[in-house]
Homo-oligomer: A and B are copies of this chain.
Amino acid sequence: MLLGRVTGTVTATAKDASLVGGALLLVEVPAGEIIALDTVGAGKGDQVIVTTGSAARLPSGATGAPVDASIIAIVDSVSKA
């Protein structure tokens, strides 16, 4: 999974029907900016965990949606001590 920071939102009217009602957030991850479906109520500025590939469709809010990246957690702490 990827550690990321929510930097914005993306809106689209013409889209796959299964995306209706889903929040598409812009997330800064190590390799650059991606779009991820939010499944835990994340918002701008939150540090989040993004899962990719087929895992992105496992959260209940993402089932059947044509997504390859989902936010699955809002980070409390990253400890390297």
Binding site for B on A (CB under 8 A): 1-3, 7-16, 18-19, 24, 26, 30-36, 39-42, 49, 51-59, 64-70, 72-81
Q: Are B33 and A74 in contact (CB under 8 A)?
A: no
Within the complex, which residue of B18, B72, B76, B78 is in contact with A16, where a contact is CB–CB below 8 Å?
Answer: B72
Q: Are A41 and B14 in contact (CB under 8 A)?
A: yes
Within the complex, which residue of B18, B40, B56, B67 is in contact with A14, where a contact is CB–CB below 8 Å?
Answer: B40
Q: Are B58 and A14 in contact (CB under 8 A)?
A: no
Q: Are A8 and B67 in contact (CB under 8 A)?
A: no
* Chain B contacts for A73, CB-based, 8 A: 12, 14-16, 19, 24
Nearest CB in chain B to that of A77: its residue: B11
